[in-house]
Structure 1
């Protein structure tokens, strides 16, 4: 790698590290590019050479973290006994959210249509590729739960919507600070386990209905 390219890469990594640090210290949506530049020790114009907008910076952070999370979840899948992969992956995904709630909030922000419409290339395509990778992964996990691959791609997508709704609920609960303020507090680990069991039971019931309908 040429020295110029290496320096460019080092500056980019410094920008991303500065943004992550600032996001952990104050509301991420209020952090400015100027503040990121100061924290990274470079000029504001230099930041724009790497990221043409704050949306692009958000996108890069989310894509990198989401790819790393997916790789970790695949490792959990590979290490899980047959029939247990879905539950172990769900619990690990919840732990990822709990460990990095800012990332979870950024992911929800970047998933909004108006955000995607403002994104410069190549980020929109990268988000589509990431979504496809997660869908394929979900299909593999579903096969482990059901012991069959008889469901169509459309049916798998329908089931994924239900899982997504549950995951969004967990993100909201984490953002709300858990259950410490409830009359009968629930430990988040117990909550995660109950939601994981609920998701799997729902998947099995809905898949059985879909398979029955396909045989009619």
Structure 2
């Protein structure tokens, strides 16, 4: 790698590290590019050479963390017993969100259509590719849990909609601060376990219906 390329990459990593640090200590949507520049010890103009807008910075942070999380989930799935793999992956996905509530908020923000429309074409394409990676992993995980590869891609996609609704609900709950403000607080680990049971039961039932032979009319 050329020296100029190494320097560019180092500056970019410094910007990303500075943003993560700032986001962990104050509301992420109030942090300015100028503050990121000061924290990274570089000029404001230099930040814009790497990230032309705060949206571009948000997108990069979200994609980087999502790719890291997906790689961890894939590794966990590969080393888990088939019958326990899906449950362990779902629970770990919830733990990933809980470990970084700010990231959960950013993911929700970056998933909004109006946000995606403001991104450059290359960034939008990266989000689409990341979504496809998660879809492929879900299909692999689902077929592995069912012990079959008979589910069509379209069927897996339909089942994913229900899972996405549950995961987004958990993400929103984490982003909002959990259940501490409820009259009878709920432990998040218990909440994660119940939602996971609900997801798996629903997937098994729906998948069984999809794989069942059509009934003959008498």
TM-score, structure 2 normalization: 0.94
User: Deviations 1:43-95 (Å, cap 9, x if unpaired)?
Assistant: 11101111111111111111111110000001110111011111000000000
User: Residue 68 of structure 1 corresponds to which residue in structure 2?
Assistant: 68
User: Residue 190 of structure 2 corresponds to which residue in structure 1?
Assistant: 190
Q: Which moved more, 1:181-190 or 1:60-69?
A: 181-190
User: Deviations 1:10-65 (Å, cap 9, x if unpaired)?
Assistant: 11011001111111111111111111111111111101111111111111111111
CA distance in 2, matches of 1:146, 1:198: 16
CA distance in 2, matches of 1:176, 1:104: 10
1:181 aligns with 2:181: yes
Aligned positions, number: 215
CA apart distance, 1:104: 1.2
CA distance in 1, matches of 2:127, 2:144: 26
TM-score, structure 1 normalization: 0.95
Structure 2: gaps spanning 5 or more residues: none
User: Residue 215 of structure 1 corresponds to which residue in structure 2?
Assistant: 214
CA apart distance, 1:132: 0.7
User: Residue 117 of structure 2 corresponds to which residue in structure 1?
Assistant: 117
3-state SS of the aligned residue for 1:162? Answer: helix
CA apart distance, 1:166: 0.5
CA apart distance, 1:121: 3.5
1:79 aligns with 2:103: no
Cα RMSD between the aligned structures? 1.3
The answer on whether the counterparts of 2:97 and 2:104 sit within 8 Å (CA) in structure 1 is yes
CA distance in 2, matches of 1:178, 1:116: 27
Q: Which moved more, 1:103-112 or 1:183-192?
A: 183-192
CA distance in 1, matches of 2:32, 2:121: 22
